[in-house]
Amino acid sequence: LVTVLVAANLFGVIGMLLAAPVLASVKLIFTYIMRKLLDKDPWKGLQTYPKPQPLGEEIRERWQKIKQGLDRFFNWIKTLYDDIRMKWLRNPKNSNSTKEESRNERSQ
């Protein structure tokens, strides 16, 4: 925070924006030089990140997840449709009579 204020006084808005990355770089370089001078491992304690998966594999995995989700969704829709259809097939008179009743009500 102090670095941001000092950079703001010296360089204005651009100084405020660049204060944090410049300070981090200076700290990293200073630590590297000091460890080299003291014959210590300069990269000890530095975090490393695992190598990312190839893009093709990443796309394939995500597509499989999307495909599974869509399959579940469409199976749910199909089940819902089949249930409604079976209810209608069991009682077709009820559905026709309600249609006829609504037509009669409209005509009156």
pLDDT tens per residue across span 46-92: 788 888 889 999 999 999 999 999 999 999 999 999 999 888 888 76
**Taking 70 as the threshold, does the pLDDT of residue 36 lie above it?**
yes
Q: Do 19 and 4 contact (CB within 8 A), yes or no?
A: yes
Same-domain status, 72 and 108: yes
Same-domain status, 60 and 43: no
What pLDDT score was predicted for residue 13?
92
Same-domain status, 59 and 108: yes
**Taking 60 as the threshold, does the pLDDT of residue 34 lie above it?**
yes
Give the count of domains, the chain. Answer: 2
Give the structural domain span for 13.
1-48
What pLDDT score was predicted for residue 79?
95
**pTM score:** 0.41
Mean pLDDT of 27-37: 93
Same-domain status, 64 and 37: no
Q: What CA–CA distance (Å, rounded) separates 48 from 77?
A: 46
67 to 4, 54, 57, 81, 83: CA distances (angstroms): 49, 20, 15, 21, 24
Mean pLDDT of 23-46: 91
* Average pLDDT over all residues of the chain: 86
Same-domain status, 15 and 30: yes
Region for residue 17 given its phi and psi (left: phi exceeds 0; alpha: psi -120 to 50; beta: otherwise): alpha
Same-domain status, 36 and 65: no
